[in-house]
Structure 1
Amino acid sequence: MSRPGYGGGDLPAVFPDWSPYQDLESAARAYLRDPDVALEALGGVLRGASVLGFTLERFVNEVNGVWQEVVVCDGSRLILWHGEDVPPGEGPPGSMTSSLRVVPVSTVTEVGCRRRLNRSDSGEIRVDSIDVYLLLTSLDEAPPSEEMAGTPRHDALRFGKTLDDGGAGQIARLEEFARLVASVVGRPML
């Protein structure tokens, strides 16, 4: 099964696994559709800073096409790159957006990690999904719902992986990323 991609080429419905790659460039080249766009944007901000950890996400939306994300932690910042195909009718065919966001780690107030565990008949426990959130001091820009009217909500970054969407390797790498961010939150910056 494949789906139409940026520039007219077909994309596989199941993407290659990035989790075996320990360096950002190799992982991005294995997994992202547009690694050069992502790496150029990230490199302009990193400017030689060490990449302590990262996580990647990519999926195909039936309306907008490919959605891609890279999140890098250099110890003091989270650098997020997001690339997304422009919906039909909102730009020339093959158009995409590329956006960058830099979040100081000092603005992360809470790191949450929820793992769903599955116990086999033999008693072996395995992780079959993980959800991670990073609560920020900034406020969410989304308009409040009726029940939340007048109540500000803090911005949060959310990431998830399952056995079907990423596999055990990507689940482990996302958990590793969450632990890295948790280890630097609240520490004095040198």
Structure 2
Amino acid sequence: MARPAFGGGELPAVFPDWSPYQDLDSAARAYLRDPDVALEALGGVLRGATVLGFTLERFVNEVNGVWQEVVVCDGSRLILWHGEDVAPGDGPPGSMTSSLRVVPLSSVTEVGCRRRLTRTAGGQARVDSIDVYLLLSSLDEAGPNPAAPAEDQGNSVRHDALRFGKTLDDGGAGQITRLEEFARLVASMVGRPTL
């Protein structure tokens, strides 16, 4: 089964598994459509720093095409690369954006990890999905809170957050485990002096 790719080609509906690869270069080359773009951008910020952990995401968006993300932790920062195909009409065919964001670990105020467990026929619990969030001290866009009562419809202030998720259908057991390892790595560093 394949999905139409941006520009008319076909992409596999299930991407290769990056979870067996312990090093960023191999994982990115196995999983991302544009690993050279991602690794060049990340390398310009890492500049030889040790990669302590990472997580990868990729999916096909029906409107824009391929969306890709790499998040790296080097002990003092989270370095996020995001690549996304440009929507038809917003640029020449085959255009994409490449974005980089650096977040100091000192700005992570909370790490949350929710695992959904199911029982096998034999009664064993197994993780079938994981959702991770990293709450940041920076503020997200403030605006009216539509869920608030009418008398409290003033602007709401929300903290920025990074969110990641994997399921058995979207990534498989290996990527669920790797995302949980990444969350634990970041959680172990929150509130401690950074390297």
TM over 0.5: yes
Which whole-Å deviations, capped at 9, do the CAs of 1:156-180 have from their partners, x for residues lacking one? 0000000000000000000000000
Letter in 1 for 2:187: A
Q: 1-side partners of 2:114 and 2:72: how far apart? A: 20
| C-alpha displacement of 1:119 | 1.1
Q: 1-side partners of 2:21 and 2:143: how far apart? A: 39
Q: Under a length normalisation based on structure 1, what TM-score does the superposition of the two structures give?
A: 0.95
Q: 2-side partners of 1:33 and 1:70: how far apart? A: 12
Tell me what 1:101 maps to: 101
| The one of 159, 164, 167 aligned to 1:159 | 164
* Matched length: 190
Structure 1 pair 165–183 and aligned structure 2 pair: CA distance change class (3 A) = same
- After the TM superposition, which residues 20-169 of structure 1 pair with which residues of structure 2 at under 5 Å, given as runs? 20-141=20-141, 143-147=143-147, 149-169=154-174
| C-alpha displacement of 1:147 | 3.2
| C-alpha displacement of 1:11 | 1.2
Query: Matched residue of 2:88: which SS?
Result: coil
The question of whether the paired residues in 1 share the 8 Å contact of 2:145 and 2:155 is answered with: no
Q: Under a length normalisation based on structure 2, what TM-score does the superposition of the two structures give?
A: 0.93
Structure 1 runs of 4+ with >3 Å offset = 4-9, 142-145
| C-alpha displacement of 1:40 | 0.2
Structure 2 residue 178 is matched with structure 1 residue 177: no
The question of whether the paired residues in 1 share the 8 Å contact of 2:105 and 2:194 is answered with: no
Query: Matched residue of 2:179: which SS?
Result: helix
- Consecutive unaligned residues of structure 1, counting only runs of 5 or more, are none
Q: 2-side partners of 1:53 and 1:7: how far apart? A: 33
Query: Matched residue of 1:189: which SS?
Result: coil
- Report the RMSD for the aligned CA atoms in angstroms: 1.4
The question of whether the paired residues in 2 share the 8 Å contact of 1:6 and 1:95 is answered with: no
- Consecutive unaligned residues of structure 2, counting only runs of 5 or more, are 149-153
Query: Matched residue of 1:147: which SS?
Result: coil
Which whole-Å deviations, capped at 9, do the CAs of 1:29-84 have from their partners, x for residues lacking one? 00000000000000000000000000000000111100000000001000000000
| C-alpha displacement of 1:145 | 4.0
The question of whether the paired residues in 2 share the 8 Å contact of 1:8 and 1:94 is answered with: no
Q: 2-side partners of 1:110 and 1:160: how far apart? A: 17
Q: Percent identity?
A: 85
